[in-house]
Amino acid sequence: MSQSTSKWALKYRGATVEDLDPPPALSTKPTELISYALMNAYERDYSHLTVVSEETRALLGYLNIPRLKEMLKNGHVLETDHVEKAMQKFQRSGKVYKVITMDTPLEELEAFFTGGVDGGGPQDFAVVTDDNRRFVLGVATKGDLEEFVKRRPA
């Protein structure tokens, strides 16, 4: 289904990521304990945490909390391990990432989630940054988009 024929497209009506009112990103560091990161995610009911460098605050990757719970259950990691053992790292070289900002139209965000618009395959979440990708402003999920559509009158 293309973005122009999406069953949700008519409900967007010019809305942008900012209209989703994404919660501020919750970041963790690679050296923090998994138990600490998990506790922070549970307290805020977050499904993804960004992982940032301790020195530069550069975005290094993320923790997918449902995946992390599965890794703990299967014994691949322990709560006493560091986040770096369970995080999914962003590839720095040879990969161009789609920049998602507060001004990104929701049609574009939906296409990103379904693998279009430089998504390179279906995505579970988007890191929302400023235009220059210097600051992580929030995280938007496909669930956020679904909730927006449910709240939006026809």
89-130 pLDDT, tens digit each: 887 665 667 889 999 999 999 988 888 655 567 888 888 988
Q: What is the pLDDT of residues 45-99, one digit of tens each?
A: 888 899 988 888 788 889 999 999 999 999 999 999 999 999 998 876 656 678 8
- Please state the pTM of the whole predicted model: 0.74
* Range 7-20 average pLDDT: 84
* Alpha carbon 62 to its chain's center: 8
Residue 14's Cβ-count burial label (10 Å; 0-12, 13-18, 19+) is exposed
